[in-house]
A and B are shown apart, each in its own frame.
Chain A
Amino acid sequence: MNRRTALLGAASALAAIAALAGAAAAQDDDFPQKPITLIVPSAPGGSTDVTARKTAELMGEHLGVTIVVENRPGGGTLIGSRHVAQSDPDGYTLLAQSSAVSMFPFTFRDPGVSLDDLRPIGVMLRQANVFSVGQASEFTSMADLIAHSEAHPEDLTFGTGGPASPISYTVEMFKHASGANLSPVQYKGAGDTFPDVIAGRVTMVSSGYSGQSGFYEQGQLRPLAVSGPERIASLPDVPTLREVGVPLDVSVWLGIFAVAGTPDPVVAKLSGALQYALEDEARRAEIIEQGGDPAFLAPEEFEALLAREAETFRELADVTGIEPQ
């Protein structure tokens, strides 16, 4: 082979690469061309599942393709999350996740998937946590509860949906920030705690507004504080934790992730679809009615939120000495 043909070969190889790149770019422009799969790493019927299905419907409408919601539960959301992390970074496999994903490094010894494997698209829903007690409870304010706990540190309990659940972390953060002491009583999910909290066997529960709201009207649950940065429209009389002197604001979010390395144009399109879903009037009204915040977050804003949260969890893990499994 002489020099000339070698050069030619190199040139044609370069041309081929350029053509491929062009084709890839064109493909990104054409995204999406086939149905998208949104993996829900928990069982059907849970809050992630319900939110994902509603959002996927609207996003699909905007993108002109079907978004298929697929449940892959198990391993404390690890199985579904790993599945997405190992998929092609083409935007056709997405993950619906909660702050559980930020906690992986602290809850699992060998999670096999982390935020670095995922590319944040945005949040489907942000929701304040509501701290509530049962109808017969002696506590009518968060200050009462904290004061009681200081006098009788062994007395109070809180219901949680499992030792490594986001709820459990929220209450641990609350304990750390308020100085109150409550022992965790473990259930299989936040909803299972309600009978014992309502009947007064367990002191307090902290969970998303939408799960609790059905119990407010007849007074089975009494909300004492919300954990968000400001009061929520549906509970105008309930103060935030900051207002009652507990320096903490955490909100629960449910977000959508693509695989790390997904091209920017694809991310932009998915983010646009998410914005469309959040700006849908009916959906927006529904989110607000359920005590949620429908504000749209651009991928970069979501990324910043995740970074702040990771920092909080790292501090908490240091303070509480939570051991990964």
Chain B
Amino acid sequence: MDMLANVALGLETALMPVNLAYCLLGVFLGIVVGVIPGIGALATMSMLIPMTFVMEPASALIMLAGIYYGSCFGSSVSAILINIPGAPHSAVTCLDGNPMARSGRAGVALFMASIASFAGGSLGIVVLMAFAPALGKFALQIGPAEYFSLVLLGMVASSAIGSGSMLKSLAMAAAGIWLGLIGTDPNTGSYRYTFGALELTGGVHLIALAMGFFGVTEVICSIGRLSLSHVTPGKVNFRSMLPTREDLRRSAGPILRGTGLGAFFGALPGTGPTVAAYISYAVELRVTKTRARFGKGAVEGVVAPEAANNAADQTSFIPTLSLGIPGSATMVLLLAALIIQGITPGPTLVANHPDIFWGLVMSFWVGNILLVVMNIGLIGFWVRLLLIPYRYLYPAILMFVCVGTYSIAASPFDVWLMLLFGVAGAFMRLAGLSPTSLLLGFILGPMLEENFRRAMVISRGDFAYFVEQPISAAILAATAMIVLFGAWSSVRSARALRTA
């Protein structure tokens, strides 16, 4: 059978000692930079690209890819332990992961996050192996109208995320959209809200925004409780990490749903792990019967986004490798590594270089197994990090966040901007405003605008274009149903309250 031959070919490449070593190096680096807030896969990969000059193409790709999905594995650790996502795609993991840690269940949260990441990653690889060409072709069907509708669906579905009032969430989403508008108008090229700063013409960078509102804000808000530590420094043995039967029972569904959503959004160029994590959390909020537990340490709120972002990480290789269309800045780097090796990325890559493609895919298995073993083995170590007094831990975090932000464009401007966001975030927290919706608005707002305007040019200004495209129409119908259902259930509960 074809698939078996491919798997065999892939294993042959992936299990070569040198490639095993590079895989281990990649995922280890990935986990480390994933845990450290601010320093992420993008910066690490661009620093290591020159090193790949002298490597075999397959080894280079295996190492760089390992950093990418390894960092996704690691970034939940800091989200859970210190309420600072190691990378933007773990921002939603904070919502329930950190409350779990605060109630003494840090070990369980980390363990379940690892299991969910592994499950999401593995199932993502299965999707990648089985459907890469088909999904690649499907991704071509998704044009501006479909993206617009999908983003709209994402915004509506995720409007419920975040504790506190709906009005506050919406206000934050709007603020996020505004921040996303800063930069250059995509159609006319005129500057928007740049206040004369050249550094803003390319827009606010996601890392600066996320590390400001999540990282620096957390540090500032902790100043008042310097002497407190959020876990009781008791025993951290293997038993305390083990989830209860109840945890496992609650997690199975969310992991599967998260994986499915993650695999879908990962396969579309442009969306990716962060959007996948948000949507899967939103879906859990809607399907659960015990919504009140969310935001207070519900294990579903940890496993769903973690399964989703890891699945998306794996399937985001589909458009990159099967079409040659990178969906994110990290994927651009991966393709650059190929081009530097003299390999032309594109739809013929899989056929012309099966050893590289299948070798890489099989190395994902190796990498994911290494990651889950490493991560579970390290849980005890991670939890002990919490015992480090804040006066040492937080200055170190501030430093990493600054270094990471500076490394985006070697520009101090981004660092100041990030610190400004951090201060603004501290005031927002005092007012009960959550940065979670803000980050979502920041990511989805520009996508909504760009795709809307592309669709408008293509359709020559005809709004009917959005419902004339069948996929887009179906997505819009689903969006309308969510809105109607939301309105209906709130009317019903209001009536129930009145009659009670």
Assess whether A70 is in contact with B187, with CB atoms less than 8 Å apart. Answer: no
Report A54-105 residues with CB < 8 Å from chain B CB: 54, 57, 69-76, 78-79
Assess whether A74 is in contact with B190, with CB atoms less than 8 Å apart. Answer: no
Report B16-52 residues with CB < 8 Å from chain A CB: 46, 49-50
Assess whether A73 is in contact with B143, with CB atoms less than 8 Å apart. Answer: no
Tell me which residues across on chain B come within 8 A of A163, comparing CB atoms. Answer: 184-189
Among residues of A, the one whose C-beta sits closest to the C-beta of B145 is A201
Tell me which residues across on chain B come within 8 A of A70, comparing CB atoms. Answer: 410
Q: Per a CB cutoff under 8 Å, which of A49, A185, A325 touches B454?
A: A185
**A194 CA to B411 CA, complexed, in Å:** 32
**A325 CA to B187 CA, complexed, in Å:** 13
Q: Per a CB cutoff under 8 Å, which of A74, A191, A218 touches B198?
A: A74
Tell me which residues across on chain B come within 8 A of A264, comparing CB atoms. Answer: none
**A57 CA to B450 CA, complexed, in Å:** 38
Among residues of B, the one whose C-beta sits closest to the C-beta of A290 is B344
Q: Mark A294-314, 1 if CB is under 8 A from B, else 0.
A: 000000000000000000000
Assess whether B457 is in contact with A50, with CB atoms less than 8 Å apart. Answer: no
Nearest CB on B from A123, distance (A): 19
Given contacts A45-B335, A163-B187, A186-B450, whether A199 and B410 have CB atoms under 8 Å apart is no
**A73 CA to B199 CA, complexed, in Å:** 9
* Residue from A57, A163, A183 having most chain B Cβ neighbours under 10 A: A163
Tell me which residues across on chain A come within 8 A of B46, comparing CB atoms. Answer: 44-45, 71
Among residues of A, the one whose C-beta sits closest to the C-beta of B47 is A44
Report A15-45 residues with CB < 8 Å from chain B CB: 43-45
B333 contacts A by Cβ under 8 Å: yes
**Residues of A contacting B: mostly:** mixed
* Residue from A45, A76, A184 having most chain B Cβ neighbours under 10 A: A45
A141 contacts B by Cβ under 8 Å: no
Tell me which residues across on chain A come within 8 A of B409, comparing CB atoms. Answer: 71-74, 79
Report A103-128 residues with CB < 8 Å from chain B CB: 107
A214 contacts B by Cβ under 8 Å: yes
Assess whether A53 is in contact with B346, with CB atoms less than 8 Å apart. Answer: no
A279 contacts B by Cβ under 8 Å: no
**A215 CA to B345 CA, complexed, in Å:** 9
B499 contacts A by Cβ under 8 Å: no
**A199 CA to B344 CA, complexed, in Å:** 21
Q: Mark B122-156, 1 if CB is under 8 A from A, else 0.
A: 00000000000000000111111000000000000
Assess whether B139 is in contact with A218, with CB atoms less than 8 Å apart. Answer: no
Assess whether A53 is in contact with B49, with CB atoms less than 8 Å apart. Answer: yes
Q: Per a CB cutoff under 8 Å, which of A49, A213, A214 touches B336?
A: A49
Assess whether A325 is in contact with B458, with CB atoms less than 8 Å apart. Answer: no
B329 contacts A by Cβ under 8 Å: yes
Assess whether A215 is in contact with B187, with CB atoms less than 8 Å apart. Answer: no
Among residues of B, the one whose C-beta sits closest to the C-beta of A72 is B410
Q: Per a CB cutoff under 8 Å, which of B187, B333, B339 touches A186?
A: B187
Tell me which residues across on chain A come within 8 A of B189, comparing CB atoms. Answer: 107, 162-164, 325
| Size band of the interface chain B makes with A | 35 or more
Q: Mark A132-157, 1 if CB is under 8 A from B, else 0.
A: 00000000000000000000001001
Assess whether B191 is in contact with A325, with CB atoms less than 8 Å apart. Answer: yes
Among residues of A, the one whose C-beta sits closest to the C-beta of B46 is A44
Assess whether A217 is in contact with B348, with CB atoms less than 8 Å apart. Answer: yes
Nearest CB on A from B271, distance (A): 13
Q: Per a CB cutoff under 8 Å, which of B270, B336, B347, B457 touches A183?
A: B457
Assess whether A74 is in contact with B201, with CB atoms less than 8 Å apart. Answer: yes
B53 contacts A by Cβ under 8 Å: yes
Report B174-199 residues with CB < 8 Å from chain A CB: 184-191, 198-199
Nearest CB on A from B283, distance (A): 26
Among residues of A, the one whose C-beta sits closest to the C-beta of B335 is A45
Assess whether A79 is in contact with B336, with CB atoms less than 8 Å apart. Answer: no
Assess whether A191 is in contact with B325, with CB atoms less than 8 Å apart. Answer: yes
B470 contacts A by Cβ under 8 Å: no
Assess whether A218 is in contact with B347, with CB atoms less than 8 Å apart. Answer: yes
A196 contacts B by Cβ under 8 Å: yes
Assess whether A195 is in contact with B143, with CB atoms less than 8 Å apart. Answer: yes
Please list the residues of chain B having a beta carbon within 8 angstroms of any beta carbon in chain A.
46, 49-50, 53, 139-144, 184-191, 198-199, 201-202, 269-270, 323-326, 329, 332-333, 335-336, 339-340, 342, 344-349, 409-411, 450, 453-454, 457-458, 460
Q: Nearest 8 A-B pairs (CB), nearest first?
A: A214-B346, A163-B189, A45-B336, A45-B332, A75-B198, A44-B46, A45-B333, A214-B344
- Name 9 extra pairs, CB < 8 A, besides A75-B202, A286-B342: A44-B46, A74-B198, A79-B198, A163-B186, A191-B324, A195-B140, A195-B323, A198-B140, A215-B346
